[in-house]
Amino acid sequence: MCGLLGLICPSGSDAEQARPAVLDALRCQRHRGPDESGAWSEDEVVFGFNRLSIIDVEHSHQPLHWGPPGAEGRYTILFNGEIYNYLELRAELTEQHGARFHTDGDTEAIVAAYHYLGPAAVARLRGMFAFLIWDAEKRVVFGARDPFGIKPLYYAVGSGGVAFSSEKKSLLALADTIGIAPAVDRKALQHYLILQYVPEPESLHDAVRRIESGTSFTLSPGGSPVLERYFPATFRPRPVRSESDANRLYDEIAEALRDSVAKHMRADVTVGSFLSGGIDSTAIAALAREHNPDLITFTTGFERAGFSEVDVAAESAAAIGVKHVVRTVTPTEMMDALPLITWYLDDPVADPALVPLWFIAREARQHVKVVLSGEGADELFGGYAIYREPLSLSPFDRVPGALRKAMGKVSTKIPDGIRGKDLLRRGALTLEERYYGNARIFRDDQLRLVLRNLDPAVSHLDVTAGPYRESQDLDPVTRMQHVDLFTWLRGDILVKADKMTMANSLELRVPFLDPEVFRIAAQIPSEQKITKETTKFALRRALRDIVPAHVLNRRKLGFPVPIRHWLKDEMHDWAVDIVHQSQTDQYLDKAGVLRFIEEHRSGVLDHSRRIWALLVFMIWHGIFIEGRITPVVPEPHYPVKL
């Protein structure tokens, strides 16, 4: 788990001239790897690296050079992440191909697999990763990003070459060297205000893009990346016709998850676990304790009734027998920390849950260097309450199309806040029209009140059309899961997980997002995921002997943050001040934004999520565009010996 930065200059360029600029830009992401830094250049290539040492701490320095006998040093690799099956992969490559290794780490396993297996090697990796491999013989770069998008990889193409980085801010620092002039991408901004995140492959700077999840690429000096999707992440449900079929499925789920956690526990440093009151993190912590009886778990909450899972998490920790650490977050702390957190994010993410996540990650880093977490379970096993919507809207399926459209028009005449309005509106829409992920921030009619120059051609369909097309033969629930895999999961959930933990030089691992776990989850039929009574039905059955009874069938609370209350009271003046100071008039109508804030304060409508999205963008703009806000970025410092 580290930070990489690579620049591939045009053919015939002298990359050594760009090396000082690359090293300077590398400092922007020192928090991702405070243990050591390394750099290397050759002809058209400059590689820089910040390392967080987890496996083979004393060796496996990067950039790492490797080659087969007779061609030692042919390849140079930058690798951010962890490969959990590296021991098995190294043994296979040694036995079948005579591969030789000079370290005990996982980095060599990637480059050796690429040498012997070619680009197909990337499909053999179980882990989270973003890497670049320079082949000095063929003069080509091969790179890839993990199947689900756990680890980030930004890139920019300009007259000075192509640069890749774990953090966008390093590419912005290299703008002159790359030959780019970044500006706000208006289409990406509109997507952000609809979805609460910037969807891949976009970023909010028009000159910077992201390699998408499950994608590999090749690049020759002077060219542009040639992308190929190697992991389609396709759901293929199988029927469950009998009780024995069902029990076999539950056993397969438990076995796959137990194996994944075992491999995710591989480390040469202390591993802890995040623990909320839900079934996902509780299952991970319970399985992790099988490998480490001294496991430490961490949770966060708020001093407000109904917005904390601290008590349930503490009960779970006691039940599975682990030490437990709690961090409570106040509204003042959230307000004070938000500019720094936004700097770490690179692009705005309007998910309030990322703020307490940053605080608990900071607390956890005083005790451990790696944490496990439960991200991905909801997308793979059907855990969101919204996945039950096809059941509640099924009566609308029997209504003729013309009548359904008429019902939709009627819903527009009903005032906002009136019970039944949204049900009628959504029932009149097709699945493709109404579902675009868990966060639905601004509808078009709301967006017109605050966004200048709204483009009617830009919609969520720009983002979801591909996943819907790929899943057209599946049932509605599974199609919603498929959409979330390529939107919500990699755009919100995994971005905040990576950015908030790495901001504190803490490695986060997500055992649910493992190719073998997905292989089983992809086969689960919708009736084993969503019922009238519960979500994640099959997963709950699979975990009945693993998690405590008080958690097994508990309703999902998520990670609620009381901004609805705070924006009426403690955060009101702070929010108004942000709006007045912001220089975003070319994008936002400040009068409309202030009207939202006052309507929310008076209780007319709950605008809290919309207000939060606007505030986060304004802070982001103040940092990355105006240069008016300059958060003080702390030097990584961890006094506890790990």
Where are any strands of DSSP class E within 169-270?
Answer: 209-210, 215-219, 226-229
Residue 251 CA: distances (Å) to CA of 240, 342, 478: 13, 42, 21
Q: Which helix (H) or strand (E) holds 65?
A: strand 64-66
Report the C-alpha gap between 232 and 148 in whole angstroms: 10
Helix (H), strand (E) counts: the chain: 28, 17
Determine which one of 2, 198, 451, 539 is catalytic.
Answer: 2
373 annotated ligand binder: yes
Which two structure tokens, joined as six digits, stand for 207? 């000159």
Maximum Cα interatomic distance, the chain, rounded to a whole number of Å:
76
CB 225 within 8 A of CB 162: yes
Whether residue 28 lies in the annotated active site: no
Distance CA 579, CA 418 (A): 29
Report helix, strand or coil for 304: coil
Q: What are phi and psi of 172, to 5 degrees?
A: -65, -40
Other C-beta atoms lying within 10 Å of the C-beta of residue 577: 10
**Residue 276's closest CA among 328, 305, 313, 317?**
313
Cα 350 to Cα 67, 112, 565: the distances in Å are 45, 40, 17
- Three-class SS of residue 640? coil
Residue 224 annotated as lining a ligand binding site: no
Distance, CA of 343 to CA of 621 (rounded, Å): 10
Determine the Cα–Cα distance for residues 116 and 269; give it in Å rounded to an integer: 31
Which alpha helices (DSSP H) does 323-420 contain, by range?
331-345, 354-364, 377-381, 389-392, 401-413
Does 106 show up as a binding residue in the annotation? yes
C-alpha–C-alpha distance, residues 418 and 411, integer Å: 10
Angle between helices 590-602 and 572-581 (to 10 degrees): 170
The conformation of residue 489, written as its DSSP 8-state character, comes to: I
- How far does Cα 237 stand from its chain's mean position? 25
- Could you tell me which residues come within 8 angstroms of residue 120 by beta carbon, excluding any fewer than 6 positions away? none
Q: Are 559 and 276 in contact (CB under 8 A)?
A: yes
Contact 214, 515 (CB under 8 A): no
Intra-chain end-to-end CA distance of the chain, in Å:
16
* Binding residue positions for L-glutamine: 106
* Binding residue positions for ATP: 373-374
Task: Tell me the catalytic residues.
Answer: 2
* Binding residue positions: 106, 373-374
